Amino acid sequence: MHLVVAGYLFTASLIGPDPAPRASFAVRASVLVAFMAAHSVLAKWLYAHPPAGVADGRMGAQLMYYGGDAIDVLVMVLLAAEWYRATRPAIRR
């Protein structure tokens, strides 16, 4: 449960509907890229060194690596869509 809540809060801080002022899109995109890299490195390390007492640590590390990539692509698309909406020129009528 802890991991789900932490992931939700991280994602909400990047692309959530909060109207409060946030960091610029460049900062949020940089943070996203840095955490994607850290997440992938952690998954690879867990695959090579599964924790003692875990029955199928390598399967969990693979799920973390590939499942994390799918979530990362979704978050990148949502962040880019938010950036596009904020910067597109107004339509003249």
- The 10s digit of each residue's pLDDT in 64-79 is 999 999 999 999 999 9
Predicted structure pTM score? 0.81
On the 0-12 / 13-18 / 19+ scale of CB atoms within 10 A, 78 is middle
Lookup result for tokens 């955490």: 35
Q: Check residue 75 and give its pLDDT.
A: 94
Q: Which segments of the chain have a pLDDT < 70?
A: 93
Q: Check residue 41 and give its pLDDT.
A: 95
Q: Check residue 22 and give its pLDDT.
A: 85
12-32 core/surface letters (b: 16 or more CB in 10 A; e: else) = eebbeeeeeeeeebeebbeeb
